[in-house]
Amino acid sequence: MSVDYIIRTIIVIALIAAYWYIRKKKKEAEGPVKKTGPGAPRPAVERPVKPADPPEVVYANLRKRAFETSPQSLGQAGDVKEDEAYAFIMEMGIADTVLTLACFADGDAGLYYQSGGGMKGGGAHENIRKAAKALMALVPKALPQMAPSTAQPLPEPGQVFFHALTPRGTLTAQTDRESLVDTENPLGALFFSGQEVVAQMRQVQAQKAG
pLDDT in tens, 18-55: 566 666 666 666 655 555 555 555 555 455 555 688 99
Structure confidence at residue 75 (pLDDT): 95
Question: Cβ(121)–Cβ(146) under 8 Å?
Answer: no
User: How do residues 57-71 score in pLDDT, each as one tens digit?
Assistant: 999 999 999 999 999
What is the value of pTM for the model shown?
0.76
Give me the phi and psi of 54, to 5 degrees please.
-65, 160
- pLDDT of residue 103 exceeding 80, the answer is yes
pLDDT of residue 182: 92
CA distances from 122 to 79, 103, 190, 202 (A): 21, 9, 18, 10
Mean pLDDT score across all residues of the chain: 87
Task: Give the residues across from 157 on adjacent strands.
Answer: 93
